[in-house]
Every structure is written in C-alpha cells, then in structure tokens.
Amino acid sequence: MVKKSLLIDFTFRYGKISDSVPLIPIRFIGSDGNSTQIINAIFDSGAHELTIPKDLADHLQYDIVEKKHKINTANGLCDAFSSKAHFCIGRGGREVEYVDEEICVMENCPAILMGIKPVFEDYLVIIDAEDKKIKLNVKKK
C-alpha cells in the first residue's frame, strides 16, 4: 500500500554511478523501525516485483514465505520467497513511502531489482539513455 497522497514526480541521474544501468535510490525500513542507508536499485522492467537478496531480508527481519513454484529469471528457474516490505524511493527529503508491499526475496540475488510492482504501476517511467536520466511521472488516474 503506497501513501498515494505522497506520489511525486522524480528525475534521477544515473551517469555518475553507472554509465549504462538505470538506477533508483531506495531505502528500506526494517521490522524494528530502523532504516538502511540509501541503496541503488536497478530498474528491471522484466521483473514482476521488487526483488531483494535474502541476506537483506534477514537483516531487515522481514518474515519470508517460500513461493510454491520456482520463478523464471535471466539465470533460469530458481527458488524464491515472498515477503512484505516497507521502503522509500527518492532522496534528499523527496521520498515516496511504500508500506506492506509484496516483494520477492531470492537467495543468490546479486542486486536489488525494481520490477513492475509497485513503481511501474504508479508512474510512467521514462529512461533517457542519452542524457542518463530516469523520469518518474505520476500516472493520471
């Protein structure tokens, strides 16, 4: 559940961190209320939902439940877990908070992957590779 009243437009530059991979700043809030530092998640339109490494889910003390079926990834089929996450996208005091959002947790996940749910559902995502920018424009509903 996103706090819909707080959806705002964003523009993120990604050229300084990575020349070719679009990134979005994300911060997770653990079950104990403590927050991580801002971490860069990779935009992945091929992923169904936000996916995080199991080590991070364990650190955040998220409850995880094994998925009934293997999931298909770029590396083939693998076991995965489901969890509910509390996180914020953005930085510098401009953040949008998501609470109890369904996410995927994987054992050997090399990075945090921002999939279709929830950001692509709430925003029109424009990746400008020439200018190394990602624009998130709130969808008009």
The full set of domain ranges for the chain reads 4-138
How many beta carbons lie within 10 A of that of residue 12, not counting itself?
Answer: 19
> How many residues are recorded in the chain?
141
* Closest to 33 measured CA to CA, from 97, 84, 86, 77: 86
What pLDDT, in 10s, does the model give residues 15-52? Answer: 665 667 888 999 999 999 999 999 999 988 888 899 99
- Evaluate whether 51 touches 28 at the Cβ level (below 8 Å): no
pTM recorded for the entire structure: 0.88
Cα(95)–Cα(59) distance, rounded to whole angstroms?
A: 22
Q: How confident is the model at residue 14 (pLDDT cuts 50, 70, 90)?
A: confident
**What pLDDT is recorded for position 69?**
75
In SS3 terms, 8-44 reads as CCEEEECCCCCCCCCEEEEEEECCCCCECCCEEEEEC
pLDDT of residue 15: 63
User: With respect to CATH, is domain 4-138 assigned 2.40.70.10?
Assistant: yes
Residue 91 near residue 1 (C-beta atoms within 8 A): no
- Round to whole Å and give the CA distance between 79 and 66: 8
Q: Are 68 and 82 in contact (CB under 8 A)?
A: no
Q: Encode pLDDT of 53-109 as tens digits.
A: 999 999 999 999 988 777 777 667 777 899 999 999 999 889 999 999 999 999 888
Question: Closest Cα partner for 134 from 6, 7, 21?
Answer: 21
